[in-house]
Amino acid sequence: MNWAAVLGALTEREDLSTGTAHEAMAAILAGEATPAQIAGFAVALRMKGETVDELSGLLQAMVEAAEPVVLDPSVDAVDNCGTGGDRSGTINISSIAAFVVAGAGVPVCKHGNRAASSQCGSADVYEALGVPIDLEPADVARAVAEVGLGFCYAVRFHAALRHAGPARKELGVRTAFNFLGPMANPARVRRQVVGVSDPRMAERMLRVLVANGAERPLVVYGHDGLDELTTTTTSTLVEWVDGEVRTQQVDAADYGLGRAAPDALLGGDASTNAAAARRVLDGDTGPHRDIVVLNAAAGLLAGGAVDDLGEGVALAQATIDDGRAVAVLDRLRSFR
């Protein structure tokens, strides 16, 4: 890998080809780049602005280096995952919504990690709920097939990212790595809901997902800064339909969901957020349920179970109320 040429091009604000970006990431993940080269690459890309081609090459290399989860060909699973970094301190919205989506009959292969900038990541809350987070690849696939939901712990499946860890930690700023993680599901799912806290990245990330084989990708962001569809104000949903990008403004009130005060969505540590998750899945009403339902609706839309968000909200509500959502949690807790 000619790092001098790559870094030189980036400092001149020249875009890299998909192949060059792929080669650079492959070298990083193979442990063939120094911390200085990794940091320089990540920062130069961020300052220039990552293109769709560059992100596509990086993502291809990242997925290739991951330990794969091979799902049964008949299982067309969904993932819902956010970039994080919004520092909102909310409950684990997507992680709870995954149980609702699975309960409605759409298989979910959830990809997530422990907390980085918050108190509680998806792995933390699942662990506190008693969900196994350390499954082998074959067992994740079996959980998806038998229970409807399996969890891929990012550290376990993207072990090669350890080579970039020290440089990323020392940098302390968000780079392409933060945007790639949610798109790099080890099961290579073709249906995804990706939340992003930076609206400027939404369409780019959608196009990257499509370039890497996604059939029904959605990218969402709240206008309050959440990397989710929000209920405190309006949101944007960017989707790929019939070969083109479509953008939809989403207002939870249009679907009969309450407008929440930001403080009403707050969570805490893993035990606090696990208790909140259990209350939502057990049927408690209020702001936590409303935002989970709205985001579950997006997952159901990506999964092809509904034709629009309104239908998704209705199905998500019914799935919680009749006990199908909490049943997924209970089955997963006893899965071995």
Domain at 78-157+169-333, CATH from 3.40.1030.10, 3.40.50.1820, 3.40.50.1980, 3.40.50.1220: 3.40.1030.10
CA distance 200 to 168: 22
List the domain boundaries for the chain.
3-65, 78-157+169-333
pLDDT digits (tens, 9 = 90+) for 85-128: 667 789 999 999 999 999 999 999 999 998 876 789 999 999 99
Give me the percent of the chain exceeding a pLDDT of 70.
Answer: 99
pLDDT score recorded for residue 88? 79
Instruction: Spell out a b/e string for 136-175, using b for 16 or more CB atoms within 10 Å of the CB, else e.
Output: ebebbbbbbeebbbbbbbbebbbebbebbeebbeebeebb
Q: What SS3 state is found at 289?
A: helix
Q: What SS3 state is found at 81?
A: strand
Asked if 131 and 142 touch (Cβ cutoff 8 Å), the reply is no
R_g (Cα) of the chain, nearest Å: 19
pLDDT tens by residue, the chain, 336 residues: 999 999 999 999 999 999 999 999 999 999 999 999 999 999 999 999 999 999 999 999 999 999 999 999 999 999 999 887 667 789 999 999 999 999 999 999 999 998 876 789 999 999 999 999 999 999 999 999 999 999 999 999 999 999 999 999 888 888 999 999 999 999 999 999 999 999 999 999 999 999 999 999 999 999 999 999 999 999 999 999 999 999 999 999 999 999 999 999 999 999 999 999 999 999 999 999 999 999 999 999 999 999 999 999 999 999 999 999 999 999 999 998
pLDDT score recorded for residue 148? 98
Instruction: Spell out a b/e string for 94-113, using b for 16 or more CB atoms within 10 Å of the CB, else e.
Output: bbbbbbbbbbbebbbbbbbb
Asked if 293 and 266 touch (Cβ cutoff 8 Å), the reply is no
Asked if 218 and 301 touch (Cβ cutoff 8 Å), the reply is yes
Place of tokens 């690849």: 137
pLDDT digits (tens, 9 = 90+) for 257-276: 999 999 999 999 999 999 99
Exposure of 274 in the CB half-sphere (CA atoms within 13 A): 14
pLDDT score recorded for residue 117? 63
Is the CATH number of domain 3-65 2.40.50.140? Answer: no
Asked if 278 and 129 touch (Cβ cutoff 8 Å), the reply is yes
pLDDT score recorded for residue 119? 82
